[in-house]
Amino acid sequence: MERPTTAAEAVAVQERLRPLVRTDRPLPPVRTAAGLDVAYFPGSDRLVAAVTVLDVETLSTVDSRAVRGTADFPYLPGLFAFREAPSLLRALDGLTTSPDVLVCDGQGLAHPRRFGLACHLGVLTGLPSIGVGKTALGRYDPPGEERGATSPLLLDGEVLGRALRTRRGVKPVFVSVGHRCDLDSACELVLRLAPHHRLPETTRTADRLGRDLS
């Protein structure tokens, strides 16, 4: 991936890659889904990028990879991908198998320039991708309390994702399309991946893997 030095350069990269995002078709059939997450060493820019690949039927882990690295870009809202994507791409390269979809820890189209981490990783790998954020970027009304309830996630007056209740009475997650996917199939998959907990099993296993090594 390209590695800009300044915020202005990073924005330019996003503007150039943005037209490559495809969201006009539903997610192709999915057998395996990858979870991606990054854990940091306390008080430093050292990190562990972790990827786990799960069988979506059994939710068992069929492949995984973790790599150590550094955050070579500061954390700036809207430029999050430049901090974590380089290491995550190295982790993906180390996998034995190629997952059918990437489930990313962050936003996809729900982004000031419509190019969040999930779009970024999707375009650079060519793989379908979905963004699942723990906090919203944009505004939303609380979805119904029951599991599976959704409400639109709005940014700049545009529907860019959905608040999705994966567990009754628990704060929703925020789903947006990354690449080669539509919002309906993205939410459907996230719900399948999160039968018991708030977050999908993909991000839970990746989070654990990275945390254990940091």
**Residues making up the binding site for Mg(2+):** 37, 105
Of 19, 29, 77, 157, the one binding DNA by CB under 7 A: 77
Instruction: State the CB neighbour count (10 A cutoff) for residue 69.
Output: 17
Looking at the Cβ atoms of 96 and 113, the one nearer to DNA is 113
Show the tokens assigned to 120: 């970024």
User: Taking the complex as a whole, how short is the minimal distance between the CB of residue 108 and DNA, in angstroms?
Assistant: 7
Q: Do β-strands 46-55 and 173-179 pair in parallel, antiparallel, or remain unpaired? A: unpaired
User: Taking the complex as a whole, how short is the minimal distance between the CB of residue 173 and DNA, in angstroms?
Assistant: 8
Looking at the Cβ atoms of 40 and 151, the one nearer to DNA is 40
Of 3, 16, 31, 134, the one binding DNA by CB under 7 A: 134
Q: What are phi and psi of 111, to 5 degrees?
A: -155, 150
15 to each of 69, 91, 115, 154, how far by Cα in Å?
A: 26, 25, 8, 21
Q: Mask 1-40, x = binds DNA (CB under 7 A)?
A: ------------------------------------xxxx
Q: 160: Cβ–Cβ under 8 A, 6 or more apart, which residues?
A: 109, 110, 111, 114, 138, 153, 154, 176
Q: Do β-strands 61-70 and 150-155 pair in parallel, antiparallel, or remain unpaired? A: unpaired
List beta partners, residue 145.
none
Instruction: Give the whole-angstrom CA distance, residue 206 versus residue 97.
Output: 16
> Is position 178 an interface residue for DNA (rule: CB under 7 A)?
no
Of 33, 117, 124, 164, the one binding DNA by CB under 7 A: 117
Of 35, 86, 131, 172, the one binding DNA by CB under 7 A: 131
Looking at the Cβ atoms of 99 and 116, the one nearer to DNA is 116
Looking at the Cβ atoms of 118 and 191, the one nearer to DNA is 118
The residue whose two tokens read 């970024």 is 120
Of 80, 121, 181, 205, the one binding DNA by CB under 7 A: 80
* Interface contacts to DNA, rule CB under 7 A: 37-40, 42-43, 75, 77-81, 105-107, 111, 116-118, 131, 133-135, 137-138, 211, 214
